[in-house]
Structures are given as structure tokens and as C-alpha cells.
Amino acid sequence: MKSKISNQILKGESHNGIYQRAVEVLTGGVSRNTIFRKPHPYYVASANGSYITDIEGKKRLDFANNMASLIHGHSHPAIVKSVTEQLKKGSAFTMATEAEVTFAELLTSRSPGFEKIRFINSGTEAVMTMIKAARAYTGKSMIAKAEGAYHGTYDYAEISQTSNPSNWGDIDKPNAIPVVQSTPQRILDDVVIYPFNDIERTIHLLDQNADQIACVLIDPVPHRIGLFPATNEFVEAIYNWTRRNNALLAFDEVVTYRVNYAGMQDSYSVKPDLTAMAKIIGGGFAIGALAGKSEIMQVLDPRETFLRHPHSGTFSANPISTTAGRVTMEMFDEQAVSNLNALTMNARKQIEEVIKIADIPACTTGAGSMFRIHFQKNAPNTYRDAYQNKETKAVIDELIDYLFLKEDIIVINTMTCMFATSLTQKTVDRLSEALLRELKLMKPILDSLAS
């Protein structure tokens, strides 16, 4: 099923040359499995705005934006300028900088629930620090997370991220499935897996461990589950449960902070106690952040006589990431958020039109400046609904290869687009025209998936 077009369309000799060196020194030839493709990854020479040029001079239109982390596209001049200025003054010190304070002021003024903030280096670290802070504050150790949700690679947060029909078990009590071989059983035992957006089952599962759960982790628009939003009723029900049971509501907004000016949390009638962020708030540089109520964040406070959660990090709040982040988020103001969301909504409508014209069983889900295409007639409402079996996955891989190699378009490997302000209506038209061509060609196989 895997496409052979990579060999037919582009020999990719220069890429393969580097890859042959890479496999000698990097496991699998890559540092990050996400960018691996068969027969070899493609190597970047440079990027600007919404275009990436590879080392063979091929220019591609980018709708992946480094897995949702570049909200203004590549090499935005204002970010390049401010980072270059900061670089000349130094990149990391065993001292504080004003850059972190100014950036913290900006983010805390943006979201009402962010009374205090701490910067770290990645989304994984942000989620991990959030879970540890919840434990330190509540004195309890278990967490609850949604089946299928991706929260990075902290042991507890990654459980059941890859559950599949052979192991996920009864929906009334989904199994806690390890991602990494030999994950200790006691970690699995400390994670309650709940079905996203399913109030009744989730509350029942939480109740069974009420005296041990420190926090309920929610990504409000979880990409891997299917990129559809948590309902207000669901978030409210979980919030109310946490109030009754001395637990915290912990939002993973690593991806979804982009949805509104104040994050996806602005869409709900209740607010999380803690929020993990990363990706766009680093302006293209490594960053993570944990924000929340002062009283809870106090567990990290070095002035406390009993420090409940000692927290540091060699590159935490380095002035390169915080400067890039501040400039980026200043430019991503209310108007910019609203314009980008409107452009993305328009793209989604155009693609739904393309799906109709191509007459294939497909639909879209999404929120704000992101959407995902599913190859099923009706939009999924659960992880199990959206789950792609091997055959579907192989067809999607083939479509992604066609887009990358024939149409010079980059999308995320789940058929997801994460928009950036550098995109325009013209680039959206190019995406929908390309999709129309490729989906028409693939109609027989796409039809067979649905039958």
C-alpha cells in the first residue's frame, strides 16, 4: 500500500546522501520520529514565511508550521531582528533577565486565570511540571487523562496515547496502556483513563479514585483524539467534580492556546486551575510554560520554608526563547487571532466543498486556526470513532506523499493543518486545488475504506 512515488517523482539523491550519513550516527537517521519518511527524510536549506526550500531547491508551501509551533510562519523579520539583538548580548546566564519578566507580564495580562507563570523548555516539560505541581498542592498522586490524548512523553501523561482496538478494553473502564516497553505497572495503576467528552462514564471513573486523584488533565481540542473541542458541559462537569474532590483542573494548551486571544479556555464557562503551554509562545524557539492560580503556583516558590516542588532547568526562561515569544505574542493580538481564525474557517469550508465535488466519504473537524480531515462520512465524536486502522493510515500516508512530492504542500501526518499568519487566501486556494486533484485520483480507494 505504501506509495512508491517518492522514487518516481523525485530522486532525492542529495537527501538520500545525507540520510546515508545520518543512519550511521543517528538512530534511524533522525532525531525526531515525526520527520521520518520513507525512503528518507527531506533536508531543509532555508524557510521564509509559509515556504520551505529544501537542499535540492524545491520550495514547498507549509501548513504544518513545525507541528503547530510557528504562528507567524518561518523567519518572521521582527522575530529575527529581536533575537539577533539578544544573541549579541548573550543567550543564557546563571542569572535572571528582564526578558522573562516582560514576557510573563504579557501572558498574565492575556489570560485571566494566569496569576503566576513559570517558563520551561518544552510542552512535555510543561505538562510534567503541571502534574507535579498538582500533586504537590493536593497531596495526592494519581492523575486522570483522556484515552488517545497526546500530552508529550512524561511517563504518566503518555499512558493510553496509542490505545488500539486490540487493547483498549471496555469503554466503561478503558485500559491504561503503556506507550514505551517496560513502563512500570505502578505508573499505569496511577493513571485513570477516561473517554473524552463522555460525562457519565468519566465522572463514574473519577469517583472510583476520588481520594487519590490530584488532577484531571484535559486538552480542550485534542489533536490525536480527532481535533474536536471538549464540550462546555464536559469541562463544567469535570470542573465541578474537581471542586468536590480536592483535585485540580489541568489544561494542556500546548497546541490550543492559539484558538482565542486568551487560549481555548476562554471558550468555557469555567477556567482551569493550571495551564501548560508551549509551541507558539516560543516564537520558533524551544519553550514551555506553566501558568495558574498564585496559591497553587506557590508550591514552586523558593521563598517558602517548606518547598513542595523544587523546580529549575538550565535553559528555563532563556532570553532567546522569551524574547522571540514576547515579540511573537505581541504580534498575535486580538485582531491577528480573529483574522487567522477567519482565514482557517474559510479554508475549512473550501475543503468541505472539495470533499463534496470529489464525492468521497470525508469530513473535517477543528477549532480556531487548525483543522483535520477525516476519511469517514460523519465527523467523529470519540477517540474510538476517529481511530484510523492500518488500511486508512496507509491511504493517508499515500495522500500525504502525493501532496508533498507532487503538489509541494506540507501538512501534518494525520491530515491536519495548523495555520500561520503568513498564509493567505491564495495559499488556501492552492491547497484546495491540490486536494481536489489528489482526492479525485484517490476516490476508488477512499470509497473502499468506507465500505
Ligand X SMILES: Cc1ncc(COP(=O)(O)O)c(C=O)c1O
Q: Which residues of the shown chain bind ligand X in the complex (CB under 6 A)?
A: 67, 122-124, 127, 150-152, 219, 223, 252, 254-255, 278
Which single residue is written with the C-alpha cell 520550495? Answer: 59
Q: How many CB atoms lie within 10 A of CB 318?
A: 23
Judge whether 201 and 194 are in contact, CB under 8 Å: yes
For residues 15 and 279, which CB has a smaller minimum distance to ligand X in the complex? 279
Burial class from Cβ neighbours inside 10 Å (0-12, 13-18, 19+) for residue 331 reads middle
For residues 119 and 402, which CB has a smaller minimum distance to ligand X in the complex? 119
3 state DSSP class of 246: coil
Q: How many residues does the chain have?
A: 451
For residues 278 and 417, which CB has a smaller minimum distance to ligand X in the complex? 278
**DSSP symbol at 134:** H
CB of 99 to ligand X, least distance (A): 20
3 state DSSP class of 327: helix
CB of 244 to ligand X, least distance (A): 27
**β-sheet bridge partners, residue 192:** 144
For residues 122 and 328, which CB has a smaller minimum distance to ligand X in the complex? 122
For residues 355 and 418, which CB has a smaller minimum distance to ligand X in the complex? 418
CB of 279 to ligand X, least distance (A): 6
Region label for 265, one of left (φ > 0), alpha (ψ between -120 and 50) or beta (otherwise): alpha
Residue 409 sits at φ, ψ, to 5 deg, of -125, 135
Distance in angstroms (rounded) separating the CA atoms of residues 431 and 413: 15
Dihedral of alpha carbons 289, 326, 409, 226, sign: positive
Distance in angstroms (rounded) separating the CA atoms of residues 206 and 213: 8
Which single residue is written with the C-alpha cell 500525504? Answer: 400
Upstream peptide bond of 380 is cis (omega within 30 degrees of 0): no
Which single residue is written with the C-alpha cell 538550565? Answer: 314
H/E stretch holding 42 reads none
For residues 150 and 332, which CB has a smaller minimum distance to ligand X in the complex? 150
Distance in angstroms (rounded) separating the CA atoms of residues 311 and 132: 10
H/E stretch holding 322 reads helix 319-331
Residue of this chain nearest to ligand X (CB atom): 123
Which single residue is written with the C-alpha cell 479525485? Answer: 440
CA 332 to chain centre: 18
CB of 276 to ligand X, least distance (A): 7
For residues 151 and 348, which CB has a smaller minimum distance to ligand X in the complex? 151
For residues 11 and 32, which CB has a smaller minimum distance to ligand X in the complex? 32
User: What letter represents residue 324's amino acid?
Assistant: A
For residues 117 and 428, which CB has a smaller minimum distance to ligand X in the complex? 117
Q: How many CB atoms lie within 10 A of CB 48?
A: 14
For residues 146 and 247, which CB has a smaller minimum distance to ligand X in the complex? 146
For residues 151 and 311, which CB has a smaller minimum distance to ligand X in the complex? 151
Closest CA to 23 of 7, 40, 45: 40
CB of 253 to ligand X, least distance (A): 8
Helices 319-331, 77-89: axis angle to 10 degrees equals 160
